[in-house]
Amino acid sequence: MPDQLSSISVAASTAVTPGCDCYVHRFGSIAPGRRARCYPSDMTDAEWAEVRSAMPVPAWLLKRGGCPEAYCHREMLDAVRYLVDNGVKWMALPVDFPYWRAVYDFFRRWRTCDYVRELHERLRRTARGCQGRNAEPSAGIIDSQSVDASETVGEDSRGYDGGKSRDGRKRHILTDTEGLLLEVTVTTADVHGSKAAPALLETFMDRPGRLLKLLWVDSAYQGPALAKAFTRHGVRIEVVRRSDGQRGFVVLARRRVVERTLSWLSRSRRLNRDHERRPDHHQQMVWWSAVIRLSRRMAGDAPRWPEKRPERQTPAPAQA
């Protein structure tokens, strides 16, 4: 199938209708062309080249059911990225994107098929390969972050974290030593990290090809259930502690990596406060935020402040 897909010619590009080589334009029935890039969250051509090579093949193209999609994949990705990066409501998506309901259906379809995780894993393996590392890491770090929930989050999926004074949910993440996301799970904020970590580890390690052997954690990640999960998969843990007498903020080796990843995720305004009615939707938002960060890093397209426009020069009055 990959050789067959690569043999199809890409739509021609002109100044009026820039070409697009997404699956829908190449194998679907929509006309060539795409919207102009106008938002900071839109992918540049260099970023799209990285994402395009890692895009999951849709089920309808593999003859597994479903109808060909009616909207450009690049436009759909840009629409979801806009929502995650800027934190707007679904119905408040700008009109130059496809209709908001179509974008939401695209988001749900990718959630059902777990495509965004697949996209991130492919990008992660490529990024690690470019650094001369193994595609799958042998060491990682676990941590969690509580976030306040809005009124759209029901009482059955929210809790109160007394330690952080947060009323909402908690996201538990596993990263590699570079800070790239490996796994994420979302619970109510009152669930302790040691209670959620076994499921987080099981979800990651049950997938084929995992090579994880060492995990760095803080002192909260202890208990029989967690020890049993570590033993089952042959994973060794090292607890990173503060030195005696240290107070206030201290940069700790290894743990700073996962804390930096949590701060990267918080740059996406959709994750600053939990607005999702379903925990799995919040989990998907975390994956989307991680994809944005990783694709920009791979393409070298980190967002920068725009250059200051030159001030207008007032023309001198004409002399008589």
Look up the CATH number of the domain holding residue 170: 3.30.420.10
* Window from 59-68, 75-84, 292-301 with minimum mean pLDDT: 59-68
Residues 142 and 262 in one domain: yes
Q: What is residue 179's predicted lDDT score, i.e. its pLDDT?
A: 93
Q: Is 283 part of any domain?
A: no
pLDDT value of residue 17: 38
Residue with the bigger pLDDT between 70 and 313: it is 70
Residue 307: phi and psi, rounded to 5, are: -65, 145
73 and 191 part of one domain: no
Q: Is residue 84 part of a domain?
A: yes
Is pLDDT above 80 for 287?
yes
Residues 266 and 188 in one domain: yes
Residue 296, in any domain of the structure: no
Contact 93, 103 (CB under 8 A): yes
Same domain as 161, residue 74: no
Mean pLDDT of 144-157: 92
Residues in the chain: 320
How many independent structural domains does the chain possess?
Answer: 2
Q: Are residues 99 and 139 in the same domain?
A: no
What pLDDT is recorded for position 15? Answer: 35
Provide the pLDDT for residue 226: 83
Range of the domain at 198: 135-274
- If asked whether residues 101 and 147 sit together in one domain, one would say no
pLDDT in tens, 180-230: 999 999 999 999 988 999 899 999 998 988 999 999 988 888 878 888 888
Same domain, 27 and 154: no
Residue 157, domain member (yes or no): yes
Q: What is the pLDDT of residue 58?
A: 85
Summarize the confidence of residues 37-58 as an average pLDDT: 91
